[in-house]
Amino acid sequence: MIQQLKNRNFYVVLAGDLVLFAASLLLAYGLRFSLDIPDVEWKRIGFLLPWLLATKVVVFYSMGVYRGMWRYTSVPDAMRLAKASVLATLAIMTALTLVHQFRGFSRSIFLADCIFTLFFCGGFRMAIRILGSQKRSALRFWDREEEDSLPARPVRLLIIGAGDAAATIIREIQGNHRSPYDVVACVDDDVRKHGQTLLDVPVRGPIDRLLFYVNRFQADEILIAMPSVLGEAMRQIVGACKASGLPFKTLPSLGSLVDGKVTVNDVRNVEYEDILGRTPVQLDHAGIGRCLTGKTVAVTGAGGSIGSELCRQILRFNPAVLVLIESSEFNLYRIEGKFHKEMDQPGLRRSRSARRRPSPGRRAGAPPSPRGEGGGEIWVQKKGVQSLHVG
């Protein structure tokens, strides 16, 4: 909280709230007396106003109303503001009841004051958010040191797709006044979305008219925000993007994201896996979890491309111990280091597959059998170990 007191924006919002608190009380009295407030009521206002201001400031501060970043005012901030307004009103009415038995005060005034406070303070924060998202120049007063880093002309971005992924990207771009992008339109095949807006961005379609909309909105770059689209549909979209002659990028598929959420940082160039995608296979995660979660799992050939990917998928099910078995010491060291760095898995055991003198009938230098000889001896003799062999 001490750090909050050092923030100059806190005092700007606090000053605005004090003015709005006083205006709410005066408007409540004016509404109660049809804008003809008697002299005796003005005296009561003079007595009540300082205590009302102090009480509301203390309650608002205690409820965390001033902790929210005012550029990103959202529904949780509105709920917090509503709770603080009601609590402050109840506190004032309780104090007047205990001290003055509420003589000379109208309950309707405090009810109206609570409503006006909620709407005025909420509107004040919403106005700040609108200024912050629509007028970048208004923010330069607060971020003078960042003024030189703002692009002279933002990149006009056209987004293919008008779903959750597109909304996330648009919201992130609009919330960052230093973003080099300006979203000009979304193009989608869903006819129900045509003519509507997504976060104040127009939605048009269909996608096969992409070239028309590129010229109409004077787009500079295209973003494919459809992480669930694979295969033939993605190939058609990529073909339309190439025909436009503009640079284009995409978001990774939902299956390749760790938490299933997309951000601007996930944007990348289109890769061949995107256009060669297959229909996703629905895995039995519950059944796989029963086999792997909390178990000791051993994987042979863990240093190869298939083995390393298998190990990466196994780690998602939180095994007790994952044993990596690999004949190449370098590959084993590389994949173990990668897992430690990317996934923070301290429970990895490293074991180089033994190369013993070949038994009769085996070719010299052949890899040890996973059943009973060489590297297989590492786990076969232990009960409860799940062993997976990558040939």
**Residue 195's CATH number:** 3.40.50.720
| pLDDT score for 298 | 84
Instruction: Output the pTM of the full model.
Output: 0.48
Mean pLDDT of the chain: 77
Which residues make beta-bridge pairs with 298? 323, 387
Same domain membership, residue 223 and residue 305:
no
* Tokens, residue 182: 């300006």
Same domain membership, residue 196 and residue 95:
no
Same domain membership, residue 49 and residue 26:
yes
Question: How are the residues of the chain apportioned to helix, strand and coil, as percentages rounded to the nearest 5?
Answer: 55, 10, 35
Same domain membership, residue 14 and residue 120:
yes
Q: Examine the pLDDT at 277 and tell me if it is beyond 80.
A: no
Same domain membership, residue 120 and residue 67:
yes
Alpha carbons 340 and 118: distance in angstroms, whole number? 50
Same domain membership, residue 289 and residue 270:
no
> Do residues 246 and 220 make contact, with C-beta atoms less than 8 angstroms apart?
yes
Interval 201-235: pLDDT, tens: 999 989 999 999 999 999 999 999 887 777 788 88
| pLDDT score for 137 | 47
Q: Examine the pLDDT at 65 and tell me if it is beyond 90.
A: no
Residue 163: burial class (beta carbons within 10 Å; 0-12, 13-18, 19+): middle
| pLDDT score for 368 | 44
SS3 label, residue 246? coil
What is the H or E stretch that residue 389 is in?
strand 385-389
Domain boundary among 252, 275, 298: 275
Residue 372 lies in a domain: yes
Q: For residue 308, give every residue at least 6 positions away whose Cβ sits within 8 Å of its Cβ, in sequence order, or none.
A: 302, 335, 338
* More confident of the two residues 374 and 155: 155
Q: Examine the pLDDT at 265 and tell me if it is beyond 90.
A: no
Count of domains for the chain: 3
Same domain membership, residue 64 and residue 186:
no
| pLDDT score for 353 | 45
Alpha carbons 206 and 185: distance in angstroms, whole number? 12
What is the H or E stretch that residue 287 is in?
helix 285-292
Interval 128-150: pLDDT, tens: 777 766 555 444 444 544 445 55
Alpha carbons 324 and 372: distance in angstroms, whole number? 17
Same domain membership, residue 300 and residue 259:
no
Torsion over CA of 14, 16, 21 and 26, rounded to 10 degrees?
160
Residue 145 lies in a domain: no
Alpha carbons 277 and 234: distance in angstroms, whole number? 8
> Do residues 187 and 158 make contact, with C-beta atoms less than 8 angstroms apart?
yes
| pLDDT score for 181 | 87
Interval 148-165: pLDDT, tens: 555 567 889 999 999 888
Among 253-262, 268-277, 295-304, the range of highest mean pLDDT: 295-304
Same domain membership, residue 125 and residue 61:
yes
Interval 20-36: pLDDT, tens: 999 999 999 999 888 88
Alpha carbons 19 and 10: distance in angstroms, whole number? 14
Same domain membership, residue 293 and residue 264:
no
| pLDDT score for 365 | 41
Residue 331 lies in a domain: yes
Rounded average pLDDT over 169-179? 80
| Percent of the chain at pLDDT exceeding 90 | 27
Which residues make beta-bridge pairs with 299? 324, 388
Same domain membership, residue 73 and residue 187:
no
Residue 105 lies in a domain: yes
Residue 360 lies in a domain: no
Domain boundary among 104, 139, 174: 139
Alpha carbons 232 and 239: distance in angstroms, whole number? 11
Give the structural domain span for 56: 2-139
| pLDDT score for 378 | 46
Strands 296-300 and 385-389: parallel
Residue 327 lies in a domain: yes
Q: Examine the pLDDT at 363 and tell me if it is beyond 50.
A: no
Residue 146 lies in a domain: no
Least confident of 60-74, 267-281, 371-385: 371-385
* More confident of the two residues 74 and 165: 165
Residue 108 lies in a domain: yes
From residue 209, how far is each of 27, 117, 205, 214, 239 by CA, in Å?
A: 54, 49, 7, 9, 12
* More confident of the two residues 166 and 391: 166
Same domain membership, residue 233 and residue 172:
yes
